[in-house]
Structure 1
Amino acid sequence: MLERRARRLTETDMAIEEGDKLPNIELDTPNGGTVSLPDQAGRPFVLYFYPKDDTSGCTREAQDFSAMMPEFEALGAAVLGVSKDNAIKHQKFIAKYDLSVPLATDTEGKAMEVFDVWVEKQLYGKRYMGIDRSTFLFGPDGKLFRVWRRVRVPGHAVDVLESVKEMLAR
């Protein structure tokens, strides 16, 4: 299954790499609107993919980014979390934990395909498809500056903020 997915990405040359521009993708927001990724150019932009609303790691990650939103905003950076969860689940997740980090949904998996985060996983010997917790940092020029794959949540938001500072200092 993974070979088939990798071959498809190679054939269409869709997977994003460092130095690539923000892809032309629109995602739905919990309030019924949309967010266009190319519109995020002009400022640092953090795009993080997470497996599922209201699970321990995903909740902690969203809380960490929410707690640090004032620091990201002070640097002019935008942050957006994305999962396959629908708008209603996102609304409940945001309300339950009083999150300030913006969220979007990718129910069709278009962004997940381009960012190569829809992967085969294994839990207790069972294989399944799911989201690889990953973060992508784009510069103000709209180009991918840094990628984090298989993210461990503790300290991750701090690491991303430090990378934003490093990028802006160049």
Structure 2
Amino acid sequence: MAGLKVGDKAPEFTLDSTHGTVSLTDMLARAARGVVVYFYPRAFTPGCTTEACDFRDSLASLQGAGYEVVGISKDDMAALEKFEANQLLTFPLLSDPEGTVIDAYGAFGEKMSFGRKILGPKRCTFVVNPDGTIALAQYGVRASGHVKRLRRELGID
């Protein structure tokens, strides 16, 4: 699927998470400025662990600025619960085992992995405005330093 652009309506989702069932609509109702929805390939991989821990370490400032944060992957709930516990994560990790939401956001497709082209979930981040439109769409982000760059773009730093 083609990627989402700024101004597009964000696809709604309701998924199981490490914090119970989570929907975009419910999160938007609680977020003053929006919801950061980030997609990552797989729990416990080095890049995904770096990114999750960076979101964890920046969560207070993101929430203080009015943003909620969720991470979405194809991992099953057992893997996500273990990942959350091992990394001391305090934001919801959502399980999309069929990849329905991942596809809806254009976060699945061709990518490079260890110098080879493969098909799989891509590292992408979206900021969804309280009205449900896309405020920021980032595809193919690098895990290292990503959250710092995102905070700068959101005017938090």
Query: 2 CA distance for matches of 1:125 and 1:56?
Result: 16
> What is aligned with 1:61?
51
Change beyond 3 A, Cα 1:61–1:20: same
Equivalent residue in structure 2 for 1:105, among 95, 114, 120:
95
Amino acid of the structure 1 residue aligned with 2:141 = V
Does structure 1 residue 38 correspond to structure 2 residue 50?
no
Cα deviation, 1:11-66, whole Å, max 9, x if unaligned, reads: xxxx53321223222111135x2111122324311000000000100000000000
Higher Rg: 1
Q: Name the Cα RMSD after superposition.
A: 1.9
Q: Which runs of 4+ in 1 moved over 4 A?
A: 124-127
Change beyond 3 A, Cα 1:122–1:150: closer
Unaligned runs of 5+ in 1: 1-5, 10-14
> What is aligned with 1:3?
none
SS of 1:88's equivalent in the other structure is: helix
Task: Tell me the TM-score normalised to structure 1 length.
Answer: 0.81
Query: 1 CA distance for matches of 2:93 and 2:44?
Result: 13
Q: Percent identity?
A: 35
Task: Tell me the TM-score normalised to structure 2 length.
Answer: 0.87
**Length, aligned pairs only:** 153
Unaligned runs of 5+ in 2: none
Query: 2 CA distance for matches of 1:118 and 1:84?
Result: 11
